[in-house]
Amino acid sequence: MHEQSPYDRTQRNISGCGLSALMSRRGNLVNGESIIRSIGLLHERGNGLGGGFAVYGCYPQYADQFALHLMYYNSRAKEETERFLDERFELAHEETIPTRAVPGVDPSNAPLLWRYFVTPKPLRLAESMMPTAEEFMLRAVMDVNARIDGAYVFSSGKNMGAFKAVGSAKDVGRFYRLEEYQGYIWLAHDRFPTNTPGWWGGAHPFTMLDFAVVHNGEISSYGINKRYLEQFGYQCTLRTDTEVIAYLLDLLLRRHHLPLDIAIAVVAAPFWKDIDAMEAQDPELAELYRTLRSVYAGALVNGPFAIAFGYSRGMVGLNDRIKLRPLVAAEKDDFIFLSSEESGILEMCADPDTIWSPRGGEPIIAELEPDVFPDIPQTIARVDLAGVGVRAAR
């Protein structure tokens, strides 16, 4: 009998994928070594078909520019994209993304990796009638990914970057030389794709502007979420269900200005039966949840999932409502850690002050302290929802 390997690409592993994350609430910068070791410890949760990282605070010398990371699959795509960018943006700097040869990342199927640091041209921004530079950038990202064959923007935020490839996450981290980068938030992902292809653009994290998401699970509501997002101008082009989570966060938090707690209650809303049970004790809260489920029905994410997502001033960990995927959290001094397994946390922090497993639908929210990086605007509000079950990092 053939003995199956955890790396057998023909087999379905319904609990696969591993994620790890860390954040310093005081904005202390750490290099990528510990997050590479953490996700490397979880390598059996992946199968070598995708790994990736996101880091915040890595481009302080270009903090005011949007950092565009692009994959090019042919020279014509690069030429067309650069013409597109030159028409719309002022360029501060461009270069190939530094990499090194590692055995676990096959150079034969690797795209050309390039990064640009840009700001919208004032006249083009004014002509576009877009309300903000972020909205102008969103439209540019969508246009490149949907209209230029062989070009994919896989990161577009300020002072942050995503780095991903086909390969195991620990090899992808070494490939991108991430131990040379410094950041105050790190996300990492090792992929075991089940329903979608293993390719460079389909590896996690998925990003849109400031938001980066890593995900373990399956989004059974993908079709509904995708059609809902298309009403607001988003186009899903990267052939992986997790893409919708990044766009939903951008829509709810940046464009609709929902408080973080409310946006989480949209994405992982309570069951109707639980809302009905709230009626006797807190009718106003029950009515709020009914309204959110009705107004944002297309933004509800169904299916088993554990996610970690980052933005410029914070990081969130979240399970689906009945916790069908593992997620563990820990704290040590000003640091918050997330991982699929306790061992992944202990690889980053050997003696945490506290460690716990959050309940289904209970978000773990960590934010920069108010006096840290005052030049980074606090654009995401918070509300105090009694009964939501939010455990914020102390």
Residue 292, CB half-sphere, CA atoms under 13 Å: how many? 26
Residue 368, CB half-sphere, CA atoms under 13 Å: how many? 24
Whether 17 is a known active-site residue: answer yes
Strands of 122-199 (E only): list them.
Answer: 151-155, 160-165, 182-183, 185-190
Q: Which two tokens stand for residue 73?
A: 């699959």
Neighbours of 129 (CB within 10 A): 8
**DSSP 8-state class, residue 202:** G
- Residue 205, preceding bond cis, omega within 30 degrees? yes
Of 200, 25, 187, the closest CA to residue 106 belongs to 200
Q: Which two tokens stand for residue 177?
A: 């030389």
CA dist., res. 222 & res. 150, Å (int): 24
| CB neighbour list of residue 120: distance below 8 Å, 6 or more residues apart | 88, 89, 90, 133, 136, 137
Q: What angle do CA 23, 26, 29 make, to 5 degrees?
A: 60
Evaluated on CA atoms 265, 271, 272, 273, the torsion sign reads: negative
Q: What angle do CA 241, 244, 249 make, to 5 degrees?
A: 145
Catalytic residues, which ones? 17
